A and B are shown apart, each in its own frame.
Chain A
Amino acid sequence: MATAVSIAAEREHYLNKEYGIRSWLLTTDHKRIALLYLASITFFFFIGGFFALLIRLELLTPAGDLVQADTYNKLFTMHGVIMVFFFLIPAVPAVLGNFLVPLMIGARDLAFPKINLLSWYCYIAGGILVLHAMLTGGLDTGWTFYTPFSTAFSNTAVVEAGLGVFINGFSSILTGLNFIVTIHRMRAPGLTWSRLPLFLWSHYATSVIMLLGTPVIAITLVLVVLERAFHLGIFDPTRGGDPLLFQHLFWFYSHPAVYIMILPSMGVVSEIVTCFSRKRVFGYYFVAMASIGIAVIGFFVWAHHMFVAGMSLYAALIFSILSYLVAVPSAIKVFNWTATLYKGSVSFSTPMLYAFGFIGLFTMGGLTGLFLAALGIDVHVTDTYFVVAHFHYIMVGGTVMGYLGGMHYWWPKISGRLYPESWGRLAALIVFLGFNLTFFPQFILGYLGMPRRYWQYPPEFQVLNVLSTAGSTILAVGYLLPMVYFLWSMRYGKLADDNPWNAAGLEWKTTSPPPTFNFEETPVVTWEAYNYNELPALEEVRVER
Chain B
Amino acid sequence: MSDSPAPLALEHTPGLQHHFADMEQQRNASSLGMWIFLGTEIMFFGGMFLAYLVYRMWYFNEFAAGSRTLNLPIGAVNTAVLICSSLTVALSVRAAQLGKRMLLVTLLVLTILFGLVFLGVKAYEWNEKFTEHHVPGYSFHFKQESTEKPVDQGRAQIFFSLYFAMTGMHALHMIIGVGIFGVITWMAWRGRFTPEYHTPVEIAGLYWHFVDIVWIYLFPLLYLIDRRPHG
Contact between A and B in the complex (any CB pair below 8 Å): yes
> Which of A115, A222, A230, A232 has the most CB atoms of chain B within a 10 A radius of its CB?
A232
Enumerate chain B residues within 8 angstroms of A109, measured Cβ to Cβ. Answer: 8, 19
Interface residues of A in 235-271 (CB under 8 A from B): 236, 238-242, 245, 249
User: Is B80 interfacial (CB-CB < 8 Å)?
Assistant: no
Interface segment among A212-220, A318-326, A382-390: the answer is: A212-220
B179: interface (CB < 8 Å): no
Q: How large is the interface on A (under 10, 10 to 19, 20 to 34, 35 or more residues)?
A: 35 or more
**B58 vs chain A, min Cβ distance (A):** 8
**Per-residue interface assignment for chain A, residues 473 to 484, with 1 indicating a CB less than 8 Å from any chain B CB and 0 otherwise:** 000000000000
Q: Cβ of A517: which chain B residues have Cβ within 8 Å of it?
A: 4-5, 19
B43 touches which one: A113, A216, A226 (CB < 8 A)? A216
Contact (A249, B51) CB under 8 Å given A26-B10, A186-B25, A212-B43: yes
> CB-nearest residue of chain B relative to A110?
B19
Binds A, one of B88-96, B97-105, B115-123, B157-165: B157-165
* Contact of A180 with B36 in the complex, beta carbons under 8 Å: yes
Q: How far is the CA of A215 from the CA of B42 in the complex (A)?
A: 8
* Given contact pairs A28-B10, A231-B136, A233-B136, A219 touches B47 in the complex (Cβ within 8 A): yes
| Neighbour of A177 across the interface among B20, B36, B48, B55, CB < 8 A | B36
A223 at the interface (CB under 8 A from B): yes
How far is A215 from B43 in the complex, measured between Cα atoms in Å? 6
Report whether A240 and B155 are in contact in the complex, using a CB–CB cutoff of 8 Å. yes
- Quick check: is A346 within 8 A (CB to CB) of the other chain? no
Q: Which residue of chain B lies nearest to A226 when distances are taken between CB atoms in the complex? A: B165
B39 nearest CB neighbor, chain A only: A211
Report whether A522 and B1 are in contact in the complex, using a CB–CB cutoff of 8 Å. Answer: yes
Cα distance, A413 to B29, chains bound together (Å): 28
How far is the CB of A93 from the nearest CB of chain B, in Å? Answer: 16
The residues of A that contact B32 with a CB separation of less than 8 Å are: 180-181, 184-185
Q: How far is the CA of A180 from the CA of B152 in the complex (A)?
A: 48
> Of B28, B44, B164, which one neighbours A216 at CB under 8 angstroms?
B44
Q: Which of B50, B54, B59 has the most CB of A within 10 A?
A: B50
Residue-wise, chain B 1-40 has the 8 Å CB interface mask toward A (1 for contact) of: 1101101101010000111110001001100110011011
Contact A220 B47 (CB under 8 A): yes
Residues of the B chain whose Cβ atoms lie less than 8 Å from the Cβ of A211: 36, 39-40, 43
Least CB distance, B40 to chain A, in whole angstroms: 5
Asked if B36 contacts A219 (CB within 8 A), the reply is: no
Q: Does A111 contact B (CB under 8 A)?
A: yes
Interfacial residues of chain A within 141-177, with CB under 8 A of chain B in the complex: 173, 177
CB contacts (< 8 Å) of A249 on chain B: these are 47, 50-51
Chain B residues touching A, range? 35 or more
Is there a chain B Cβ closer than 8 Å to A534's Cβ? no
B43-83 interface bits toward A, Cβ cutoff 8 Å, 1 = contact, 0 = none: 11111101100110011000000000000000000000000
Tell me, rounded to whole Å, the shortest Cβ–Cβ distance linking A423 to chain B. 37
What does DSSP make chain B's interface, helix, strand, loop or mixed?
A: helix
Determine if A454 is an interface residue (Cβ-Cβ < 8 Å): no
Contact B10 A234 (CB under 8 A): no
Decide if B8 touches A234 in the complex (CB within 8 Å).
no
Write the chain A residue with the least CB distance to B165.
Answer: A226
A239 near B158 (CB under 8 angstroms)?
yes
A239 and B47 in contact, given A109-B19, A186-B29 (Cβ under 8 angstroms): no
A197-229, CB < 8 A from B: 211-216, 218-220, 222-223, 226-227
* Per-residue A-contact encoding for B122-138, CB less than 8 Å = 1, 0 else: 00000000000000111
**From residue 57 to 111 of chain A, which have CB atoms closer than 8 A to chain B?**
107-111
Chain A residue numbers with a CB within 8 Å of B59 are 240
Contact between B5 and A234, CB atoms less than 8 A apart: no
Residue in chain B with minimal CB distance to A17: B7
Write the chain A residue with the least CB distance to B25.
A185
Could you give, for residues 430-444 of chain A, a 1 whenever the CB lies within 8 Å of some chain B CB and a 0 otherwise? 000000000000000
Interface of A is mostly: helix
- Whether, in the assembled complex, A112 has its beta carbon less than 8 Å from a beta carbon of chain B, the answer is yes
- Taking the closest CB of chain A, its distance from the CB of B13, in whole angstroms, is 11
Complex-state Cα separation, A241 to B58, whole angstroms? 10
Least Cβ–Cβ distance between A322 and chain B, in angstroms = 19
| Interface presence of A10 (CB below 8 A) | no
Q: Residue B154 at the A interface, CB < 8 A? A: yes
Bound: A222/B51 CA distance, A:
13
Which single residue of chain A is at the shortest CB-CB distance from B47? A219
Interface mask (A102-129 → B, CB under 8 Å = 1, otherwise 0): 0000011111111100000000000000
Contacts of A173 in B (CB 8 A): 37, 40
B54 touches A245 (CB 8 A): yes
Indicate if B41 sits at the interface (CB-CB under 8 A): yes
Which residues of chain A are within 8 angstroms of B152 by Cβ–Cβ distance? Answer: 240
A539 within 8 A of B: no
Q: Is A460 an interface residue (CB 8 A)?
A: no
Q: Report yes or no: B51 in contact with A223, Cβ–Cβ below 8 A.
A: yes
Residues in B whose Cβ lies below 8 Å from that of A238: 154
Given contacts A233-B136, A234-B51, contact A521 B36 (CB under 8 A): no
Query: Which of A220, A230, A234 is within 8 Å of B137, CB to CB?
Result: A230
List, in ascending order, chain B residues with CB within 8 A of A233's CB: 136, 154, 157-158, 161
B4 nearest CB across to chain A (Å): 8
Residue of A nearest to B172 (CB): A222
Chain B CB within 10 Å — which of A29, A108, A112 has the most?
A: A108
Give CA–CA (A226, B20) in the complex, Å.
Answer: 42
Asked if B41 and A232 sit within 8 Å, CB to CB, the answer is no
Across-interface contacts of A218 in B (CB, < 8 A): 44
What's the minimum C-beta distance from A324 to chain B, rounded to whole angstroms?
A: 26
Rounded to whole angstroms, the CA-CA distance of A236 and B37 in the bound complex is 32
Q: A108-B19, A233-B158 are in contact. Are A245 and B51 (CB under 8 A)?
A: yes
Cβ A107 vs Cβ B158 within 8 A: no
B169 at the interface (CB under 8 A from A): yes
Question: What's the Cα separation between A111 and B50 when bound, in Å?
Answer: 33
Q: Is A421 among interface residues, defined by CB-CB distance under 8 A?
A: no
* Residue of A whose beta carbon sits closest to that of B158: A233
The answer to whether A219 and B155 touch across the interface, beta carbons within 8 angstroms, is no
For the complex of A and B, the 4 pairs showing the least CB-CB separation, nearest first, are A239-B154, A232-B161, A219-B47, A231-B137
Other contacts beyond A111-B29, A177-B40, A516-B7: 10, CB < 8 A: A173-B37, A173-B40, A177-B36, A185-B28, A215-B40, A216-B46, A232-B165, A239-B158, A242-B54, A249-B47
* Complex A-B: 19 CB contacts under 8 Å: A113-B17, A173-B40, A177-B37, A186-B29, A216-B44, A218-B44, A230-B136, A230-B137, A230-B164, A231-B138, A232-B136, A232-B161, A234-B158, A240-B59, A240-B158, A241-B154, A242-B55, A517-B5, A522-B21
Q: Which residues of A contact B (CB under 8 A)?
A: 26, 28-29, 107-115, 173, 177-178, 180-182, 184-186, 211-216, 218-220, 222-223, 226-227, 230-234, 236, 238-242, 245, 249, 516-517, 520-522
B residues apposed to A, CB below 8 Å:
1-2, 4-5, 7-8, 10, 12, 17-21, 25, 28-29, 32-33, 36-37, 39-41, 43-48, 50-51, 54-55, 58-59, 136-138, 152-155, 157-158, 161-162, 164-165, 168-169
